[in-house]
Amino acid sequence: MKSLFRSLAAAMLLACLAFSAKAGELTIAAAADLKYAMAEIADAFRAAHPGDKVEVVYGSSGKFHTQIQNGAPFDLFFSADIAYPKELEKMGLAAGTAKPYAVGRIVLWSPKPELAKLPLKSLPSSPAIRKFAIANPDHAPYGRRAQEALEHEGAWEAMKPKLVLGENIAHTAQFVDSGAAEAGIVALSLVKSPALANKGAWTLIPANWHQPLEQGYVVTARAKNNPLAKAFAHYMEQPAARAVMRRYGFVLPGEEEK
């Protein structure tokens, strides 16, 4: 009997070891504008890979870019600016070529619908807006595009005293949602999310008022032998994932904005 138990225990141990050997792990650094779209996509991917562990961390593209250079353990980097993955590729910190996955858009958003309809050029003189939120232009691509749009309308310098800067675009949306700022320039993908879709109103900012928000991704050098990273990158190009991205307002490679 003892021999039988030992045999069963050994078999179970071998099965566990075999499962561990097959199970994959993936850590993704994703721009904050992907917070809701990527969450849906990652959930669907996990459902198709139940034995694998997939973790997504959201934040500023510029900060992720620096962290990866300093050895942060990310396998995939989805940036709000394709320039960051391209730089990692040039530095030898990528396992492949940086590829575009979407073009983002920015909107003027406010819980008060009347404020979302104001022309950007009139924002500095509006007494209804005491604080105005954008992402920090120093490291957040959406913040740089917000600055460019305000500059296009001649409002940047006059808006500086009213600005509150978010660490990333999701943090920026929190400023507006919480009332810390009366309005702000945020990602279209966030105001289309279930969390914000029924709050206030937004106005799409013309794309020719700023440089394109061409977003790109790269498999990092750390993941050069990680098949799960390549599988997720491949999944992002499939119809199901593209449908999610499209629903959140992204313009996808090979498609024109409607």
pLDDT on residue 90: 97
Domain with 44 in it: 2-103+213-247
Over residues 190-208, the pLDDT tens digits come to 999 999 999 999 999 999 9
Q: Cα–Cα distance between 195 and 170 in angstroms, integer?
A: 11
* 221 within some domain: yes
What's the mean pLDDT in 210-228?
A: 96
pLDDT for 9 beyond 80 = no
> pLDDT digits over 11-48, tens only?
444 444 334 445 799 999 999 999 999 999 999 999 99
Distance (Å, whole) CA 218 – CA 198? 34
pLDDT band at 258 (very low <50, low <70, confident <90, very high): low
The torsion angles phi and psi of 193, rounded to 5 degrees, stand at: -75, 155
113, 160 Cβ separation under 8 angstroms = no
Same domain as 205, residue 109: yes
pLDDT mean over 87-116: 97
Task: Decide if 257 is inside a domain.
Answer: no
Q: Are 160 and 176 in the same domain?
A: yes
Residues 109 and 76 grouped into a single domain: no
Q: Do residues 79 and 115 both lie within one domain?
A: no
**Count of domains for the chain:** 2
Whole-angstrom distance, CA of residue 72 vs CA of residue 38: 20
Indicate whether 195 and 131 sit together in one domain.
Answer: yes
15-29, 81-95, 159-173, 193-207: range with lowest mean pLDDT? 15-29
Could you tell me if 26 and 71 lie in one domain? Answer: yes
In this structure, the answer to whether residues 99 and 217 fall within a common structural domain is yes
Global model pTM greater than 0.85:
yes
Collapse the DSSP code of 174 into the 3-class scheme (helix H, G, I; strand E, B; otherwise coil) and give the result.
helix
pLDDT for 103 beyond 90: yes
Identify whether 132 is part of a domain: yes
**Is 68 inside any structural domain?**
yes
The answer on 140 and 153 residing in a single domain is yes
Same domain, 217 and 99: yes
Name 232's Cβ contacts closer than 8 Å, sequence gap at least 6. 26, 28, 45, 54, 76
